Amino acid sequence: MEARDSKILIAGIGNIFNGDDGFGVEVIKKLEERALPDGVTVVDFGIRSFDLAFALVDGYQVAILVDALQRNEPPGTLYLFEPNLEDAGQLMPVTLEGHGLHPAQVLKLANLYGTLPKKILVVGCEPAVTTFSDEGQIGLSPSVQANLPEAIGLIETLIPKLQQELTAVNGR
């Protein structure tokens, strides 16, 4: 399904070779196994920051970014928030490194290419492991893995609410 047929993008972000950083990717894998309503596109962007930036300006009205986020809470804590897009552009300069942009940098980069979705939400999870060895680490920590069903449930609850908002705004 292309963006012009879809109104909501759910984007998984993260590196599966860095343990809990793969949270967004794992959520997307589980969502791909489920029947989601028409108008919803689910994509695992992994570490492909430029692909995500271009997708964000491809006509979606809503984007849900799913990522591991360190906010100094207990591991596995889930977050849902709407980032301040004006602040996101000021937080850090855009660096042209296609496999390592921070989500705030992706939003700033995407904004340079076109119009961002009217609404962007972030579903995040506090990682248990925040430093990684040169060998990497495949798989989520038990605390993050245990909260995958809750994160999926949160997203599945958001979808009809967002679709209802879009219908009210667009009149269809």
Phi, psi dihedral angles at 10 (to 5 degrees): -110, 115
Q: How confident is the model at residue 162 (pLDDT cuts 50, 70, 90)?
A: very high
Q: pLDDT digit string (tens) for 93-147?
A: 434 444 455 677 787 888 888 889 999 999 999 999 766 667 777 889 999 999 9
Within 13 Å of residue 92, how many CA atoms lie on the same side as its CB? 10
Per-position b or e across 12-49, b if 16+ CB within 10 A of its CB? bbbbbebbbbbbbbbbbeebeeeeeeebbbbbbbbbbb
| pTM score of the predicted model | 0.85
Q: Please, are residues 53 and 166 in contact by the beta-carbon 8 Å criterion?
A: no
CATH label of the domain that carries residue 27: 3.40.50.1450
Q: Which domain holds residue 58?
A: 3-170
How far, in Å, are 25, 43, 99 from residue 48 at the CA level? 12, 11, 5
Number of separate domains in the chain: 1
CA triple 104-22-45, angle to 5 deg: 60
- Residues linked to residue 79 through DSSP beta bridges, in sequence order: 124
CA distance 65 to 126: 14
| Residue 64: pLDDT over 90 | yes
